[in-house]
């Protein structure tokens, strides 16, 4: 065991950034992306019917992209709920760290401001 006392780990001055707002903020862009992808269905399908090079491969890729974006949109509410729970847990852990070590919480704060 070392004779030197360990310096307490610095505690951030603010709680961790919230994740839940980002989930909601992305939804409109995903909805626009889904509409744009669906607008390409007719052209991609026609290319596949006409035997164009990579027509079927491109149609399959478009189908996969549509399914992926649709699944992300369908899971939006669940992802938002999870992000809210994780945000609450992170904030609670941050607050507990403040209460556990108040000296570390105020370290670097002076009468003139923060260092």
pLDDT means per 10 residues in the chain (115 residues)?
A: 62 89 96 98 97 96 98 97 97 90 71 64
All residues at 6 or more sequence positions from 8 whose CB lies less than 8 Å from its CB, including other chains: 101, 103, 104, 107
Distance CA 73, CA 31 (A): 8
| Strand ranges in 1-115 using DSSP code E only, listed in sequence order | 109-110, 113-114
Contact of 55 with 20, CB cutoff 8 Å: no
Distance CA 65, CA 36 (A): 11
- Does this model's pTM top 0.85? My answer is no
Tens digits of residue pLDDT in 58-87: 999 999 999 999 999 999 999 999 999 999
């Amino acid at each position: 065991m070392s004779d030197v006392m360990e310096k307490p780990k610095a505690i951030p001055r603010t709680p961790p950034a919230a994740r839940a707002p980002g989930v909601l903020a992305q939804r409109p862009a995903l909805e626009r992306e889904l509409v744009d992808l669906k607008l390409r269905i007719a052209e991609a399908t026609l290319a596949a019917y006409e035997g164009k090079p990579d027509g079927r491969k491109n149609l399959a890729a478009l189908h996969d992209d549509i399914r992926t974006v649709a699944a992300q949109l369908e899971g939006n509410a669940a992802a938002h709920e999870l992000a809210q729970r994780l945000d609450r847990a992170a904030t609670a852990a941050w607050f507990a760290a403040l209460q556990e070590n108040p000296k570390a919480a105020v370290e670097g704060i002076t009468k003139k401001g923060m260092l």
